[in-house]
Structure 1
Amino acid sequence: MEPQPQPHNNYVALIIGVTGLTGVSLAEALSRPDCLGGPWKVYGASRRPLPAWFSPSLLHHYITLDALDTEDTRAKLSPIAHEVTHVFWVTFQIREDEETNVAMNGTMLTNVLNVLRSSPSPRLHHVTIQTGTKHYMGPINDPVRSRHLASHDPPFHESMPRLPYPNFYYALEDLVASYAPSLTYSVHRASIIIGASTRSTHNALLMLAAYAAVCRHEGLPFRYPGTRYTWEHFCDMIDAGVLAEQHVWAAVTPQAKNEAFNCTNGDFFTWKKMWKVLSEEFDVEFVDYKEEDDFDIVEMMSHKGEVWEEIVEKHGLYKTKLEEIACYPPFKVVANFKFQHVSSMNKSKEFGFLGFADSFKSVRKWVARLRHMKIIP
């Protein structure tokens, strides 16, 4: 018997933040002929032109877009507003105070949805929103509020109530929920994302790769920049590919509509064991944790911009500035948590998403990918 043709749903995706960690993996996933719900037509948008390492063949069309600018958003998205069926929101802008984050990120999403829904014959019916575990931890990056933080006890699960702090994650959830029932949505609370991009400010793997490269270049020890507690206790992460799969699954699965899901690899690690893997992958000597090794990675790396330029030149890497590819304050916060950073995946599994990854293999895979892209030595 000849194979029967698969049903064509005529789904059209718009990925906002397509050059970021999840955006790249989403573009790759949606461009595959066998993608769930596919084949898809895929548009991608970001604030800056495509970087040289991004394959334009993954997209039907790329759009340079400032979503904070109402007129620019209207001009750029109106021509495709009658086509788009799904928005994958994997972008954010961060400032020092959360009230500003609420206003900025809410404005961006509102601008995009308003244009797509203003078409005479709109097709948009689902929006996926990527947030994170700050949903359960509160304003961990706020220099004032974080001193008196009252986060939830891990493992984090989706039914936990909101914390009494401003949080732009909450604002985005409320915004997409306000469009129901004319639109459905899904919320994806990602753990520490591991992937390959120069366009994600909070890219832990690239931060650590640059740090290790500086240590190797200058003959410095590759010290862990956190506490003994986080060195020895559990943490989790999420492979950008698995996260993209969850986005797509929720976008086309009826029972996943209007729900929030944690997303981790489904396993745990200690930074002690992960540090050994990182030391091997980055070709630096493993340094065990010592109390006297306490140091400030933010302070150290703030002075290494010229060193990184030397490394880029020496190894013929893709031209980057250290301050553009690595933001160390967020990792310093993670490395100094006083609780185990772990989330439950039970709800996601109960609803039917069974994606997973081995965190150690995931790190090795993405290190190899970053090297292939000539982003790290």
Structure 2
Amino acid sequence: MPSAIVTGATGITGSAIVHHLCKDSQYEKVYSLSRSNPGNENPKVQHATLDLQGSAEEMAKSLKDVTAEYVYFCAYLARDDPADLSRVNGMMLSNFLQALEITGAIKTLKRFVLTCGFKHYGVHLGHCKQPLQEDDHLLEKNYGDVSWPPIFYYEQERILKDAATRGGWEWIVTLPEDVLGYARGNFMNEATALGLYCAVSKALPGSKLPFPGCKANYFAFNCWTSANLHAKFCLWAAIAPNAGNNIFNVMNGDTESFQNLWPRLAARFGCKIPNPMFPYGGTPDSQGFGNYEATTVRMQSRHPLAAHADKIGVLVDSNPTLFLQVDPEKWAKRKDVNEAWAKLRDTYNLDQKAWENATWDFLTFVMGRDWSCIGTMSKARRLGWTGYADTWEELEETFSILEREGILPPREKHS
């Protein structure tokens, strides 16, 4: 029976993979690697403390008794500077692979699954060609006078492919989008910030739930990825015939829009949908909703769509602009908002760290952009992948877990 190694086991994607490996009777042992012990009590799981910022030699000492046929690499280290982000995350992967070579564990490896994301396409840089397909142009070359900052996934993908060629094993890269899930002590996810925004809005006078972003975003189409579905996909891709040496989009399989999700969020949290939702137009340089402060962010790079301009016959001569009629970061610093949060926190014994570490800046991007973000699952479907998850149901499940874990206040029943 095979064994598996999971790095970044305390994160949302990593912890979900460990969970599903434990449920899979095909796996005999699961090596959980992270700087802190996630405390998994399943007898299959063997934790090893690993600092991926260490040298290959240092990591090899921690991995001297660790071997497996399948590796799931979910570790990630945030950096503000794109060049530094690429350097650090590339180094972590490279040193980890070298450590496996030093210990000899690389000799038993069959497939290595690396979790990346839609930043592979440059969705964080602006409007991309839709739908996103795995063979789309990489944003590495200049297109006339257009260039983009480095994307760290490219460096990781190069490192992985080179190591696989040397070692004679296969690689998989997964590209999930806006992952929905939970990991204890990890608040870097969209659902936590979104749930806190809704819960506190309910506690504020009037209980209104204005959509923070722009009007175009409210009506745009997007896709999300359940952490559980992504984990199931990774286990499938690790053994599926002909799946090796491939990059795969991994989404729930449905297409959603905030015009559909926002009223459901309001109903779930007992809030009122404002009418009009965008009293000042909801476009760049509009006023904020009510007495909330708006924000317009003009990005420096050209839309990634410019890389496809000649092929699709569209001139892209503008830079991306984000607009939010409620700036999430400034909203979270308001006196009335913090007083409402403090009352909820004290009443229900909620985790203050969740509020302090919520990724309000991520909501700024996700809701401020005026373009859709849709990928296709056709490549995986052709190879036999049939998984599916309903995005609203996954959001609901994540909120329920956040409530049980003391991140969000308990749900009230609303008539």
TM-score w.r.t. length of structure 2: 0.78
Q: Which residue of 2 aligns with 1:276?
A: 263
Gaps of 5+ in 1: 1-9, 141-145
Q: Which residue of 2 aligns with 1:6?
A: none
Total equivalences in the alignment: 350
Instruction: Give identity over the alignment, percent.
Output: 24
Report the Cα distance in structure 2 between the residues aligned to 1:353 and 1:302, rounded to whole angstroms. 44
User: Superposed, which structure 2 residues align to 1:215-364 within 5 Å?
Assistant: 215-219=201-205, 221-287=208-274, 289-292=277-280, 293=289, 294-303=325-334, 308=341, 310-318=343-351, 320-324=353-357, 326-364=358-396
Give the drift of 1:161. 1.1
Q: Which residue of 2 aligns with 1:369?
A: 401
Give the drift of 1:296. 0.6
Residues 74-106 of structure 1, C-alpha deviation per residue, up to 9 Å, x if partnerless?
A: 3322231xx222211112112111110111001
Greater Cα shift, 168-177 or 178-187: 178-187
Q: Is 2:15 aligned against 1:24?
A: yes
Report the Cα distance in structure 2 between the residues aligned to 1:91 and 1:287, rounded to whole angstroms. 40
> Larger Cα Rg: Structure 1 or Structure 2?
2
Alignment CA distance shift 1:18-1:305 (3 Å): farther
Q: Is 2:103 aligned against 1:112?
A: no
User: Superposed, which structure 2 residues align to 1:13-92 within 5 Å?
Assistant: 13-34=4-25, 38-50=26-38, 55-57=40-42, 60-70=45-55, 72-80=58-66, 83-92=67-76
Greater Cα shift, 60-69 or 223-232: 60-69
Report the Cα distance in structure 2 between the residues aligned to 1:310 and 1:109, rounded to whole angstroms. 44
1:188 pairs with 155, 165, 174, which one?
174
> Post-superposition, which runs of at least 4 consecutive aligned residues in structure 1 deviate over 6 A?
none
Give the drift of 1:272. 1.8
TM-score w.r.t. length of structure 1: 0.86
Give the drift of 1:345. 0.8
Alignment CA distance shift 1:130-1:120 (3 Å): closer
Report the Cα distance in structure 2 between the residues aligned to 1:299 and 1:187, rounded to whole angstroms. 36
Give the drift of 1:244. 0.6
- Give the counterpart letter for 1:344 in structure 2: T
Report the Cα distance in structure 1 between the residues aligned to 2:93 and 2:342, rounded to whole angstroms. 36
Q: Is 2:125 aligned against 1:125?
A: no
- Give the counterpart letter for 2:272 in structure 1: E
Indicate if the aligned counterparts of 1:27 and 1:59 stay in contact, CA closer than 8 A.
Answer: no
Gaps of 5+ in 2: 141-147, 281-288, 290-324, 410-415
User: Superposed, which structure 2 residues align to 1:96-175 within 5 Å?
Assistant: 96-120=80-104, 122-137=107-122, 140=124, 146=125, 149=126, 151-164=127-140, 165=148, 166-175=150-159
Indicate if the aligned counterparts of 1:47 and 1:66 stay in contact, CA closer than 8 A.
Answer: yes
